Structure 1
Amino acid sequence: MKTFNVNIVTPDGPVLDTTVELLSARAQSGDLGIMAGHVPMVAPLQIGVVRLVTGGKQSELVAISGGFLEVRPDQVTILAQAAEKGENIDLSRAQEAQRRAEQRLQDNQDNVDFKRAELALKRAINRINASQGNL
């Protein structure tokens, strides 16, 4: 199967530079599957897990917190606000972030920014899913 290069970059620097057969990601318009030779495009990404496939098997999961995906026939670049390889995620820290976000959402205080708490909860769940291999 043909391969293509994938780069995932954040403001803090590169997170991943590899060659894969298939990439799947969640765009604002829905799930995308990208293979070598895909039509060029740019798409905004949601908070989600980027799944990379090499040799017919899932090779890597990367938790991203939104951003943009640019597709060229032999190259995919993801510019993410934050990205972390599933294998590098501190699961206990992500679970604690989930607990804190859920607590904020349950509090009925006027000073709680619910949108911000919802996004924190989505990011925490996303990191947990990437670390455990859940999609």
Structure 2
Amino acid sequence: MSTLLLEIVTPERKVYAQEVNMVSVKGADGELGILPNHIPLVTPLRIAPVIVKKDGATEEFAVSGGFIEIRKDKVVILAESAELASEIDVARAEAAKKRAEDRLNAKADHVDFKRAELALQRAINRINVNGK
């Protein structure tokens, strides 16, 4: 089976760089399944899992936004943050979820609701990726 190079990069580090068979992401306009020889494309990513299939095995990453660049034989994900499921600290994610929910429920004038909603989405994404 043919492969393509997948690189997942954050501002802090290169999280992943391996040959894979398929990548599945949620872009701004919907879900994308990327196989070798995909048409070139650049699109923003949603806060959602990135699913990687390699030699019959599946890996999941919790990715918090960013962009994906797809080329014929290479996919680069430039993410604000990305963690492999096994790297996720569930207790920390649960605490972040609780804080975000408290902020959203406070209905106070000083709360940045958009920021709290994004924090809640990131926490739920991390919890869901780790739980699979």
1:3 paired to 2:25: no
Q: Supply the AA of the counterpart residue of 1:18.
A: Q
Q: Supply the AA of the counterpart residue of 1:34.
A: I
Match of 2:49 in 1: 49
Match of 1:39 in 2: 39
The runs of 4+ residues in structure 1 deviating greater than 2 Å are none
Q: How many pairs does the alignment contain?
A: 132
**What SS does structure 1 have at the residue aligned with 2:67?**
strand
**Pairing 1:1-135 to 2, within 5 Å after superposition:** 1-58=1-58, 60-133=59-132
The alignment's TM-score, normalised by the length of structure 2, stands at: 0.96
Distance 2:107 2:38 in 1: 48
Question: What residue ranges of structure 2 are gaps of 5+ in the alignment?
Answer: none
RMSD: 0.9
**What SS does structure 2 have at the residue aligned with 1:87?**
helix
Q: What's the CA shift for 1:40? A: 1.1
Distance 2:111 2:87 in 1: 31
The alignment's TM-score, normalised by the length of structure 1, stands at: 0.94
Deviations 1:67-98 (A, max 9, x none): 11011111100001111111100011101100
**What SS does structure 2 have at the residue aligned with 1:11?**
coil
Identity %: 48
Question: What residue ranges of structure 1 are gaps of 5+ in the alignment?
Answer: none
**What SS does structure 1 have at the residue aligned with 2:75?**
strand
